[in-house]
Amino acid sequence: MDPISASLLTALATGAGGEVGQQLWSALRGLVRRRPTEDAGGSPGAATGEGELTSLFQAPHDVERARALSEALSRRAEQDPLFRTHLTQWQQQAQVLRTGDGDTSNTVSGGDQRGPVVMGRDFSTINFNAPGQEQGQGQA
């Protein structure tokens, strides 16, 4: 199982993603708060992730706390097969939320470029109209 991204956990803890993000955070809280199964060994020192979850909730922008939660979730998934199954399902649902993770590669080639060129990833609300210029009325 891949570790849960610290960026994703931070985004959820800070309220990113609107209603979907809130639902994912709530689902993760519920999953973490479930009692470990007997297959997990049930030892008092068994990782649950609850402390790390609370810690991240208290300081939602703290990437180190998000990493600690990710590590605790991974340890619990190793100890508890049922938790691993539910966490994997949760992780698949969480893929709908973009957090800025991932690589991007931009290339402009093939002649002269006239006009704006925007390079990056995950854009929204970009406007190339000059102030006072109405849309659809470009220069002749």
Tokens of 102: 């991932």
Q: What pLDDT is recorded for position 44?
A: 53
Say if residue 136's pLDDT is above 60.
no
Give the global pTM: 0.66
Query: Among the listed ranges 37-41, 52-56, 97-101, 123-127, which one has the minimum average pLDDT value?
Result: 97-101
pLDDT, tens digit, for every residue of 9-38?
999 999 888 888 899 999 999 999 998 876
Closest Cα to residue 87, out of 3, 14, 23? 3
Give Cα 16 to chain centroid, integer Å.
Answer: 9
Give the whole-angstrom CA distance, residue 135 versus residue 140: 14
